[in-house]
Amino acid sequence: MKENKDYSYFSISFGLVLLDKELPYDLYINSSTHASREKFVKIFKKENILNSEDLHTFKDKYYQLYVREDERELYLKSLGVVEGAADVEKAAVIKDSAIQYLESLFDEGHEFSNEVLDEAIQGCRDSVESMVDVIQDYSILEVQNLIADLSFHDFYTYDHSINVAMYSISILKALKPDAGRFELLMAGMGGLLHDLGKVKIDTRIINNPGKLSEDDFQVIKKHPEYGRELLNEHQCSHDEINFDLIKRVIGEHHENFNGTGYPNRLKGKEISVLARITAIADFYDAITTKRSYHEVLPTADAIEVMARSVGRKIDPKIFEIFRKNVNVVLEGKSHIELPDDFDPCQPKNILPLQKSAPKIQRSDFLDKEEQGFGKVKKKAS
């Protein structure tokens, strides 16, 4: 039976279909051989159990399987329990979905509205929830290896935001091994949406991989406030998301630990813990993830470079836990650092490394007060 033309569909891999459990979504095929005359036909009804023989029969008969777009959330949630599929395959699907939601925010072809933001945030939440299912037990290096195996988009902000979300989840897990699912979800959401304010900035500036002019850099520095304003102006209806936490990550991820950051020159514990986690994830991804336009630092060198920003840009205690999770011993041999005005959110043709004095700061693990940050409310006050 032909479906309503108003519906849209997305293709899925045969290897990522849930087997031997009630299928939470309907399966479709495109029975038309002409792209301009798509005709989607349901071949398997949700709430029935699909087995491997059924799937093998479908694979022999049909070129591609589809799921209706309004059931994408159900499909994403099922990925965590699909057996036999590689995590990189699951992560690729999750990333593609996250990119779709981010694209809807940055699309200059339509007016930004409460409905657009609301739908995008719900989609981002679904993507991050699936991300937590896949990587919650990953170390930071395992996340890095997973990211390296994923393809990248030509819009730096999309890839970078998704990577920061994954790193933020793994850093929080290293910081607090007993972190609950909701806490991990908020860490991932903060990372995914940390650059939300860039929707109000010209893409010419956002995508500039060269040295920004002083005027353009002043514009870029407004994005934390822009992002926070967007969430304040457009009231979203998601009781399961703590928007107070997300707004703090968006507004504070460029605040430096020593009070020299922007927009409000907050310092130390004045900066929320999730924002301090995001800042480290932001920094690490910017200097270790391979892009087409610049080489990156090996892990050990990246940790050395970050160590020279400890106490200035980044939190010493969180960084020490981060470093131990990466399992790199600081030896202080690499006399290079990045300038204090280095912005991880911007693509770079060449990392602006410079010589430095061989000074490295260290610290102990988080104290009890810091470990208690995970006691969050599910509703913004």
In the chain, domain spans: 1-85, 87-374
pLDDT 10s digits, 196-216: 999 999 988 888 877 888 999
Chain mean position to CA 163: 5
Query: What is the pLDDT confidence band of residue 359, given thresholds at 50, 70 and 90?
Result: very low
User: Collapsing DSSP states into helix, strand and coil, what is residue 284?
Assistant: helix
- For the chain, the residue count is 381
Distance in Å from the first CA to the final CA of the chain = 48
Q: What is the pLDDT, as a whole number, of residue 11?
A: 94
Query: Taking the CB of residue 246, how many other CB atoms lie within 10 A of it?
Result: 24
Q: What is the pLDDT, as a whole number, of residue 170?
A: 96
Q: What is the pLDDT, as a whole number, of residue 367?
A: 53
Q: Which of 326, 351, 103, 115 is nearest to 203 (CA)?
A: 103
Q: What is the pairing mode between strands 354-355 and 336-337?
A: antiparallel
Q: Distance between CA 128 and CA 249 in Å, rounded?
A: 16
Amino acid at 232: N
Q: Distance between CA 85 and CA 315 in Å, rounded?
A: 37
**Is the pLDDT score of 322 beyond 90?**
yes
User: Collapsing DSSP states into helix, strand and coil, what is residue 210?
Assistant: coil
pLDDT 10s digits, 60-112: 999 999 999 999 999 999 999 999 999 999 999 999 999 999 999 888 777 77
Q: 171-195 burial string, b = 16+ CB within 10 Å, else e?
A: bbbbbbeebeebbbbbbbbbbbbbb
87-374 CATH, one of 1.10.12.10, 3.20.20.330, 1.10.3210.10, 3.40.50.300:
1.10.3210.10
pTM: 0.85
Q: Distance between CA 357 and CA 175 in Å, rounded?
A: 29
Q: 129-155 burial string, b = 16+ CB within 10 Å, else e?
A: bbbbbbbbebebeebbebbeebebbeb
Q: Which residue has the higher pLDDT, 122 or 239?
A: 122
Chain mean position to CA 329: 27
Tokens of 207: 């995508």
Q: 181-193 and 114-135 helices cross at what angle (nearest 10)?
A: 130
Distances (CA, A) of 282 to 95, 159, 279: 17, 11, 5
Q: Distance between CA 148 and CA 145 in Å, rounded?
A: 5
Amino acid at 91: A
| DSSP labels, 9-35 | EEEE-GGGS--SSB-SS-EEEE--SSG
Tokens of 122: 């719900």
Mean pLDDT of the chain: 85
Torsion angle of the four alpha carbons 151, 152, 153, 156, in this order, in degrees rounded to the nearest 10? 170
Q: Are 306 and 314 in contact (CB under 8 A)?
A: yes
| DSSP labels, 88-146 | HHHHHHHHHHHHHHHHHHH-TTS---HHHHHHHHHHHHHHHHHHHHHHTT--HHHHHHH
**Is the pLDDT score of 323 beyond 60?**
yes
DSSP state of 38: -
Q: What is the pairing mode between strands 9-12 and 65-68?
A: antiparallel
Q: Which residue has the higher pLDDT, 376 or 286?
A: 286
Q: What is the pLDDT, as a whole number, of residue 380?
A: 39
Q: Which of 114, 120, 118, 8 is nearest to 71 (CA)?
A: 8
Query: Bridge partners of 29?
Result: 41
Query: What is the pLDDT confidence band of residue 339, given thresholds at 50, 70 and 90?
Result: low
Q: Are 357 and 304 in contact (CB under 8 A)?
A: no
